[in-house]
Every structure is written in C-alpha cells, then in structure tokens.
Chain A
C-alpha cells in the first residue's frame, strides 16, 4: 500500500530547531526538527495542544516562529526578505474547517487563485478546475455553492482548490476532524490517491488507520516537542517510548 520513495530523494522541507513562544509566554514549539523528502507522506499525530498544527503552519509561514529555521526547496521561509506569497503558492493547505469561499461556486473556488496569483486566463483556469473537481469526484457539483455541499464534499473541493496551484507539497491540518464519521472515508480516499501519485504530503491527523496505511513516516508530538518518529510498522508495533505508548493506548482500538 505505502509507496516507496528513493532513500536519496532530496529534502523538500527542512525544519531545524524550530521554537515558537507566544507573547503571553506559552511555549508552543520547542526545538522541533523535521525533514520531509520529495514524494514522502509524513503523518503528525499527538494529543490536542501538542503543537502539531502549529508546526504544520510554520511550514508555509501561516504561523511565525521565535527561533530556528524552516526551508522549502532551499528557500528560508521565515527570512524577512522571502516573498511569502510566492512560497505559499508551492505549498497547498487544507484546513480542518474547509474554509471554502461561501460566495463562490465550487468551480470558482478552484479557479480563483490560479487566475489571481498566476494570472492564468479564465478558459485555462476553468479547464484546470474542471479536471481537478473530476479528480476529487465532484465534477457534477461544479456549480454548487459550498452551503449546498456536505462536509466531505466541501473538503474535497478544498483539496482541489489547493491542488490548482500545482504545489510541491500538500499540508493537511486535521482534514477529517470536522467531518461526520460517514464522510471521513471519501476524503481519506482522495488523499490516498494523491499519495500514490507521488505528492509530497504532511498530514496532521487523528486517523491512525490512514497513518498506518499511507504514511512513509509517522511523527509523534507532545507538549510542543517532537518526541518520536519512525516508519508506520515500527511506530505502531514497537512503542518503546513511554509517552507514545500511553498516547497510542488511548487512541488505538483495543
């Protein structure tokens, strides 16, 4: 199931000793280092408040950092001179709450960024958006507004919207946490398809089944620290680490 990636694949995302401290003194991240190679699927798991979403959001600078460095394709994301808008076009993000644009149709949601950011002609953007909606199985919903779609459908449109920029990496921030249980499968299926096509993905998730089946590597975070990371088989079967063991004990079915 899990695709294999070449061990010498280049490092796409490199977070080195990233720390984040909020002005009120809360330490969200403490010296977290994470490397993601091209084509790799990395799942980040951990209890809520462990800093996994914060770490994900530092990758495309939706969240600032206090110290350390994050590079994507060798570009230092948090450097003051970096063109953030450009960096973000290379990292598609999918949110827990979908965040589709409610005043636009599904098709327009997908078309907007290529037209505005890449200055793509309307016809080309429409064609690309149509293909992407087809890919996520929603070609017939192109003219629907987000309010007319189910949660699972909205999230699939959101994935298509992020893919429209042809990103080098997809960042998923708990993409199925806000969904009704029966809608989770359709979103995970789309994500699995993406992974098999070779997309580099960083996924913050509570779906251990997905992590076990699709990820190349699973990362465990707790208390703002990266505690443990390993290939899925080793991660789930061989939990030497005590905090990981207690976490898995809580989330895995007995």
Chain B
C-alpha cells in the first residue's frame, strides 16, 4: 500500500476536535455544570468508609473490634479493624446506625461495578464455551435429533433480543426457580452467547479438512477419539479469533444485566447519576471503563492472531 498523505491524519484530528467542540458547545447551551472533580470519588473512596449496623442490637467494643449481638436473637456478628469506633461498649444501636469508620482507600461504586461486570463476563464466558461446544458438536452430529435440537437452540436464541431473553430468565425463570440476580444474569448471558459460540465452533469443525477425520478413522480411532484428538484441536485454533471477538461482545452485552437487581458497571453508573445529576461525566467514565476492558481484550486477540499466523 502507498503511504497515505499525512494531511488526512490532520483532517481526522480536526474532525474529532470539531465534534468534541460541538458537544461542549451543546452542553453550554443547556447550562450544563461540568463537575469532573467529583468523578474520582466514584472510582476510589479515600475519606474512609462508614460501617453500618445491619440490624438492631447491642454492641461490645474490644479495641478496634466491634461485636454486635442482635436484639431479636441470632448469631453475634463481629466487625474487625474499625479504625474510628463511634459507639461505646454496651450501647444499643438500630439498623443502619453508624458503628464506626474504616480509614484507607476503598473502591468506589464504579470500580465495584466493574468488578461485578468482570465476574459476570468471566463466568458467562466459561458456561457459554461449554454450551457452545456441546451445541456446536450437535450441529455437525450424525444424529438427526442432536442436529435438530442444536439448530432449534441456535435459531431461537439468535432470533430474539437479548433484553427480552433477560426479562424471561429474570422475571419468569428467576421467580419460579428463585434465582439470584447474579445467577440469572450469568444464565441469560451464557445461553445467549453459547448460541453464537456454537456457530463459531461448527464452522471451525467444518473448516478442518475432511481427510483429517478419514485418516484418524482409518487408523481405527472411534468418531469421538478422532473428534477429540484430531478435529477439535484444529477447529479450536481456527475458532480462536472469532471466539475472542464474541467475548468482547459478551462484555458489552453484560451491561443489560443491570435490569436485574445486580449492580454491575452500568447499574452503578445509573445509581450515581440518579443521586448526583451529572450524567455526562458518569456515562463518559463508564464508557471509557468498558472501552478499557474491550480494548485490552482486543489487543490480546491481535497478538494471538499474529502468533497463530506464525505457527
């Protein structure tokens, strides 16, 4: 390729600046108060964290440790390492009273949300890969029932919106089976992503030369042995780049679990916006945090692709 004229790069920069300036101008028009200075505390809390009493009870103080005996009976709870104790020994406290403060840096709501998002994505990815492998093998199976079941699964899931599936899992299955928001979220995301993984695996298997299966079978290996030792390892290598792309989608799709009683990164953002009325700063920050996750993943994927091209 001929090296492009650097003037085009300048045009790109100019256009981006222009769009940014336009946005800024628009916020001035609506008298928006930018308060970027408040964003760091959504990420990290440095002022110390209040420790609240979960129930009504009597407290016993031993140095930095507080023991709470519930008034209505039950196991006493201990709260170790309270740096600033704000109750005295023998005092009766009510639920949500402050027991004391922990000093030091604690993660703010956005970082906590990011951690929840990461956990949901990771668990969903594991189950999506398992589901997708089973369904993908079903798609190429010689058994018509397995083939049909896999096809129905893939078509049903790919033909309906994820949000609707979430509503079904959370409000219907979640109520019937009494699932927590986390379990329901992981279930919905795994089932959804699994359908796409199944198609990736199917095309990976179909991309392995027919002669590979033939050679393995001619040596006396069973269909399953040939799949496991010969076809699947090669199919996985071909499937890695699209699978990585699908994991990036999974991270983004996980923002929909915020409809469940589950404080992921998006829900955390919504809660902060509701109490602070600074939507632009918060949503830009949230978007950047997602971008960081997906960006890191795609850099890793690009490295992986390069490495596989060499092998």
B-binding residues in A (CB < 8 A): 60, 62, 85-86, 88-89, 91-93, 95, 97, 99-103, 112-113, 116-117, 158, 161-162, 165
Shortest CB-to-CB span from B219 to chain A, Å, is: 4
User: With contacts defined as CB atoms under 8 Å apart, how many contacts are there between chain A and chain B in the complex?
Assistant: 60
A103 to B234, CA, bound (A): 7
A113 to B225, CA, bound (A): 10
Shortest CB-to-CB span from B231 to chain A, Å, is: 10
Given that A102-B234, A112-B229 are known contacts, is A88 also in contact with B212, CB under 8 Å in the complex? no
Shortest CB-to-CB span from B238 to chain A, Å, is: 11
Would you mind naming 12 contact pairs between A and B with Cβ atoms under 8 Å apart? Answer: A62-B214, A62-B217, A85-B221, A86-B220, A88-B217, A91-B218, A99-B211, A103-B233, A103-B234, A116-B221, A158-B215, A165-B219
Shortest CB-to-CB span from A88 to chain B, Å, is: 4
Give the most central of A62, A86, A103: most B CB within 10 Å: A103
| Interface residue ranges of B140-160 to A (CB < 8 Å) | none
Q: Which residues of A contact B214 (CB under 8 A)?
A: 62, 95, 99
| Interface residue ranges of B216-269 to A (CB < 8 Å) | 216-222, 225, 229-230, 233-234, 237
Q: Which residues of B contact A89 (CB under 8 A)?
A: 219-220
Q: Which residues of A contact B233 (CB under 8 A)?
A: 103
Q: B209 near A: Cβ within 8 Å?
A: yes
Shortest CB-to-CB span from A178 to chain B, Å, is: 11
For B230, the closest partner residue in chain A by CB is A101
What does DSSP make chain B's interface, helix, strand, loop or mixed? helix
A116 to B221, CA, bound (A): 7
Task: For the complex of A and B, list the 7 residue pairs with the smallest distance between their C-beta atoms, beginning with the closest.
Answer: A89-B220, A99-B215, A113-B219, A99-B211, A93-B218, A88-B220, A117-B220
Judging by beta carbons under 8 Å apart, are A103 and B237 in contact?
yes
Judging by beta carbons under 8 Å apart, are B218 and A60 in contact?
yes
| Interface residue ranges of B110-145 to A (CB < 8 Å) | none
Shortest CB-to-CB span from A169 to chain B, Å, is: 12
Q: Which residues of A contact B212 (CB under 8 A)?
A: 99, 101
Q: Which residues of A contact B237 (CB under 8 A)?
A: 103
Q: Which residues of A contact B221 (CB under 8 A)?
A: 85, 113, 116-117
For A164, the closest partner residue in chain B by CB is B219
Q: Which residues of A contact B225 (CB under 8 A)?
A: 116-117
Give the most central of B209, B212, B229: most A CB within 10 Å: B229
Shortest CB-to-CB span from B304 to chain A, Å, is: 16
For B231, the closest partner residue in chain A by CB is A101
Q: Which residues of B contact A112 (CB under 8 A)?
A: 219, 229
Which one, A88, A101, A116, contacts B218 given CB within 8 A? A88
Q: Which residues of B contact A86 (CB under 8 A)?
A: 220
A100 to B211, CA, bound (A): 9
